[in-house]
Amino acid sequence: MADAAFDSSDAARAAGGLPHARTLTLPGPFALRLGGSLPEVAVCYETYGTLNASRDNAVYVCHALSGDSHVARHDEHDAPGWWDILVGPGKAVDTDRFFVICANVLGGCRGTTGPASIDPRTGRPYGGDFPRITIADMVAAQARLLDELGVERLHAVLGGSMGGMMALCWAVEHPERVDSAILLATTHCLSSQALSFDIVGRNAIFKDPNYNNGQYYDREHKPDHGLAIARMIGHVTYLSDRTMSRKFDPDREHPRDVAYAYEKEFSVGSYLAYQGGRFVERFDANSYVALSLAMDHFNLGRDHGGLEAAMARVRCPVLLASFSSDWLFPPAHSRRMADALLARGRRVSALEIESDCGHDAFLLENDLPVYGPLIEGFLNRPRSCPDPCSPPPQAEPAANVGLRADEPATTNVRSIFYANRLDLERIEELIPAGASVLDLGCGAGQLLSRLRARGSGALLGLELDPVAITQCVARDLCVVQRDLDRGLGVFRDRQFDVVVLSQTLQAMRRPDLVLREMLRVGATGIVSFPNFAHEAAVRQLLETGSSPVTEALPFPWWSSPSIRFFSIRDFEALCAQLGIRILSRIAIDSATGRQMHDDYNRRADMAICVLSGWD
């Protein structure tokens, strides 16, 4: 239907054949996690690109509940794939570089063994007798497929929604085979709210008079109405309130005329009727039941003695991306997974993407400019930092942190706001080689990159800006999106040798709490900040009566990120009040690069202080 309001992640999917798909039968029996087995398993899969000679460029794509093996078109004559925007030559998942594999999941209805398949023991479809399967069973079938294809190890595994659950399961249960994992819009365990929608959907199928306990394949009528209603319910959870308002509020009571026999009183009703009716043409009700139950029973923490214990099994870097308007698997779920990985010293980068598109955002073009480069950078990053990003617990204060007050400042004259920031050069000099470092407000990872290049301990950055996070990920730096004003509760006491807060304190709502937290998790703290009492700023304020704009304070008052305007002396007074010791202070006039020893509160426009809160 050529109607923009009817566009969805299902738009390109159809019930047609898969001419490029191949089927491989795994030797049986295939044991299942909840008991029992299948006598044999056929796996329908498609591949893109070429496996290189060293067999280390394989990327496995895990599809969501209603997906299949056709992740992308193979040529201009092929039907569209469900992730064409991301996978293909020159795209984020570049098939000119990577050997991409995608298979229909166990329990599906697009070529892989599922309820509609023939049970070789009876000669009839399994139907309602198809055994209960799990996400782990799906991954086990994928692992067996890779064995048959001669792929021992994956460069990456990625997926969204249910596909993200499988990618997570790969990283936890097959850590020796995965070099990196990308998890989009997913969860480690469904919420009760998400679970309830699936329950209603399955009841719609079960109560369809044509369901017949799942034994309907030899009948004229199938439980199409129940499946359509289940899809309508599910589709609502994939959208957001803002998206639905934008699509349907302008013509709320003017529904489209669609050829499906469901309520069409409202515009949104005709949309749901269309989505439900089309879904029935390409999907099987028993598969919907089997796959949704597998999702609903997925609980990584329960299966491994707690979420942190599960994440302790992960050995590869993990990228987590969530979407702000996703209320099915909300960003809080990704934060919990990131926190569990951090708590166990695993390499993780995490970003919440601002989006109006709801759960389906990872399948749509709207936010591709954000998540596309993020995934591309993660896949193509240099493998230069193999160690976990969290250091051993209870780090002792790093030796020789800081400089004597009379040591000369660097001669490289740069404003602290230029790309070659003067404060970062000095901070690097203050951090001993081999120290573990947490960089609060790490930007694009300039300091972390410097530290890694010269040799360091574990490195981790916290940052809010999604563009900066994407740049860090492409540099193979661990960075997690966090609001520093909410504290650092995920980190242990003295988890890092050094915690850095560069040019960020003035943007904090509660600088006192941020300082306390950084000196809780770090043996030593290093803080750099602009001095608002610098003579140039004071003179401009006195002479013009306007908020100063100087080399070190380049923003007009209405667009400045600074919300705290303090001097070096103000900072020293706050440290004294908090019981924080200033081990060394470097006050610099960034215009000349000179370190100010006398009258520094007036003559310096920037300060770097090395702090300790421990006796």
Query: What does the pLDDT look like over 351-365, one tens digit per residue?
Result: 999 999 999 999 999
The answer to whether residue 592 scores a pLDDT higher than 90 is no
Tokens describing residue 267:
């515009």
Active site residue 161: yes
Q: Which of 174, 359, 456, 534 is catalytic?
A: 359
Q: How far apart are CA 352 and CA 370, in angstroms?
A: 10
Residue by residue, DSSP assigns 59-108 as: EEEE--TT--S--S-SSTTSPPPTTTTTEETTSSEETTTSEEEEEPPTT-
What residues pair up with 46 in beta bridges, in sequence order? 102
Tokens describing residue 193:
């709210």
The CB-based long-range contact list for 310-313 (8 Å cut-off, 24+ gap) reads 310/172, 310/188, 310/340, 311/172, 311/337, 311/340, 311/341, 311/343, 311/344, 311/346, 312/344, 312/346, 313/171, 313/172, 313/173, 313/175
Residue range 271-330, pLDDT digits in tens? 899 899 999 999 999 999 999 999 999 999 999 999 999 999 999 999 999 999 999 999
Residues contributing to the annotated binding site for substrate = 231, 360
Helix 241-248 to helix 267-280 angle (10° resolution) is: 110
Residue 28 or residue 395, greater confidence: 28
pLDDT of residue 411: 31
Q: Which of 68, 94, 326, 423 is catalytic?
A: 326
The answer to whether residue 615 scores a pLDDT higher than 70 is no
The answer to whether residue 265 scores a pLDDT higher than 60 is yes
pLDDT of residue 4: 60
Tokens describing residue 527:
């803080």
Is residue 423 within 8 Å of residue 417, measured between CB atoms?
Answer: no
Instruction: Outline which parts of the chain fall under CATH 3.40.50.150.
Output: 422-612
Instruction: Outline which parts of the chain fall under CATH 3.40.50.1820.
Output: 4-380
Helix 192-206 to helix 285-296 angle (10° resolution) is: 160
The answer to whether residue 518 scores a pLDDT higher than 90 is yes
The pLDDT-based confidence of 392 (bands split at 50, 70, 90) is very low
How much is the pTM? Answer: 0.90
Which residue in this structure is represented by tokens 């029996």? 29
Q: How far apart are CA 68 and CA 45, in angstroms?
A: 8
Which residue in this structure is represented by tokens 């991301």? 86
The pLDDT-based confidence of 38 (bands split at 50, 70, 90) is very high
CATH class of 422-612: alpha beta
Angle, CA 592 vertex, CA 588 and CA 595 arms, to 5°: 30
The pLDDT-based confidence of 568 (bands split at 50, 70, 90) is very high
Residue range 452-476, pLDDT digits in tens? 999 889 999 999 999 999 999 999 9
pLDDT of residue 614: 53
Active site residue 326: yes
Helix 267-280 to helix 224-238 angle (10° resolution) is: 120
Exposure string (b/e) for 103-128, b if CB count within 10 Å is 16 or more?
Answer: bbbbbbbbbbbbbbbebeeeeebbbe
Residue 383 or residue 332, greater confidence: 332
pLDDT cut 90: percent of the chain above it: 79
The answer to which of 65-79, 225-239, 403-417, 447-461 has the lowest mean pLDDT is 403-417
Q: Residue 478: which of 494, 497, 458 has the closest Cα?
A: 458
How deeply is 372 buried, as exposed, middle or buried, from its count of CB atoms within 10 A (0-12, 13-18, 19+)? middle
Residue 247 or residue 143, greater confidence: 143
The answer to whether residue 560 scores a pLDDT higher than 90 is no
Is residue 472 within 8 Å of residue 349, measured between CB atoms?
Answer: yes
pLDDT of residue 566: 95
Q: How many CA atoms does the CB half-sphere of 161 hold within 13 Å? A: 21
CATH topology of domain 4-380: Rossmann fold (3.40.50)
